[in-house]
Amino acid sequence: MSQPETGVWGRLDACLHAGNLSGAIVEVETALDALPSTVFHALRGASFLAQCDELLAWVDAFYAHASRKGPVGALCLELNAFDANPDAWFLDGFAYEAGADGDWLANEELVAAAEPFLLRGLEAGHAAFARYAAADQPAGGPLEPSRDLAAALVELRAQELVANAHRAAQAQGRAWGRVPVAATAHDSDRVYESAGVGEPLALAALTAASLVALAPAARPASRGGTVPFCYKLTLPSDPKVIGVRNGIMQVEICDDAFLAAVRSAPFNETEGVFSDPAKALAITGLRVVPRAKLTDVLSFGPMLYGFPFLVKRKTLALLSAFHTRITHVFPVALNPDEHGLNAYSLVRFQRLDLDCIDYARSTFYTGSPLLGNYQQHRFSNHAAFGEAFNSFLALPEHLVLAPHVDRTLDLFYLGSGLYVSERLKKALEQEKTTGIKISAAMLPTVEG
């Protein structure tokens, strides 16, 4: 996976040498944009960042295991040979002994992770690399430039995930935040290194103020004196939980008529508009992915905008007892029903638009403490945020709901995230609902 260090490749390596991951990603995506459109162009703008919270927990466990073998001096997370294995993309973990010379890769390897960390978020890339391999493209063929850039982009996005997780580990005082962490890919000579707290590299700019700004526990209290945090709800990718290693779906909707009806329905940010016949639709084709576990909440494919998951009847009843504003329910109706899937329904919840954010009390950020260019931003209102968006991309860090938003909501979409209230979180946990993850650690945090 190495290319000559000229043109985009030279600029890419220069960015990595300077610790500028975002610049490297821009270089590669810009070069890809300049080429004729191919299957690999679907990778632009996609990332693994939704798994940051999961990677934190995975590295926590790996670091604790490695520490029992001896003092850990550094960690290395390596992306597998993803271009040759389009069915499964994952990170392998390696822990190294502490050393005095700083060249920790030359030190003794303590232990390798027993289980890999499965990646999801760039599924379009799986299909693109699979099609490229199946076509048996010749060296120097017309798709090769796009393929090489896409491969570099996948590497960079994996490194981006590792860098963000390491940053969060430092902000939250996790043990492995104190050691350097390297991110690379199998058979690649590009290595991104994130220094541990106290190391001179890259993290000199990680000030106490920026740590406070990043730590969920340090958020200001709301006007009522208690911070009614909303918890982010995501779907797990761990094969031990969902049974499959693809990280993205346990079941596949195979009902073309249903898919066509849903995809053609006009949506705005808060409601879907369906004709009366469409509202009465049921899913008559649903395939269980081999080895998938039928959890209470099921991930599915293909993706449908606004529909996060299928949910079992008992869990749907629980959700309906809370203020969740379920806007649509489409039951599964298979004949015959060999796996008990008729107990599930596809659901859609209310989506809050961006006017529901109290911008003056919310924070956004650009840059990264790792690169020394972290900067926090506030905006007076939605219009000011929109104006700034034309000049630079400020990512949400901590969002406060606007005064007019119904504070009794127990579940809602905001941006690309699904959030639940404290009381619904407790109810789901009490019922031991399977197939979901609920966390307060993943950015952006949301305050009611």
- The pLDDT tens digits for 212-271 are 222 323 333 333 333 345 788 888 877 888 988 766 789 999 999 999 888 877 665 455
Range with lowest mean pLDDT among 89-103, 223-237, 278-292, 419-433 = 223-237
- DSSP symbol at 304: -
- Give the pTM: 0.51
Percent of the chain residues topping a pLDDT of 90: 20
Q: How confident is the model at residue 343 (pLDDT cuts 50, 70, 90)?
A: very high
Of 125-139, 252-266, 429-443, the range with the highest mean pLDDT is: 252-266
Q: One-letter amino acid identity for 399?
A: L
Average pLDDT of the chain, as a whole number: 78
- The pLDDT tens digits for 152-187 are 999 999 998 998 888 888 878 888 988 889 898 887
**Residue 398 to residue 419: CA distance in whole angstroms:** 13
The secondary structure of 383-444, three-state, reads HHHHHHHCCCCCEEEEEEECCCCCCCCCEEEECCEEEECHHHHHHHHHCCCCCCEEECCCCC
**pLDDT of 301 higher than 90:** no
As given in the structure block, the two tokens for residue 281 are 């639709």
pLDDT at position 272 is 58
Query: Tokens 């260090």 sit at which residue?
Result: 5
Distance of CA 192 to the CA centre of its chain: 19
* Residue pair 269/315 in contact by the 8 Å Cβ criterion: no
* Residue pair 180/195 in contact by the 8 Å Cβ criterion: yes
**Residue 148 to residue 146: CA distance in whole angstroms:** 5
pLDDT at position 364 is 83
Residue 46 vs residue 433, higher pLDDT: 433
Closest CA to 346 of 372, 317, 316, 374: 316
Task: Provide mean pLDDT across the span 43-50.
Answer: 84
Task: Provide mean pLDDT across the span 373-398.
Answer: 77
pLDDT at position 325 is 76
* Residue pair 177/197 in contact by the 8 Å Cβ criterion: yes
**Residue 60 to residue 319: CA distance in whole angstroms:** 32
Task: Provide CB contacts within 8 A for 136, sequence distance 6+.
Answer: none
Percent of the chain residues topping a pLDDT of 70: 79
**Residue 295 to residue 434: CA distance in whole angstroms:** 5
Task: Provide mean pLDDT across the span 351-361.
Answer: 82
**Residue 333 to residue 286: CA distance in whole angstroms:** 9
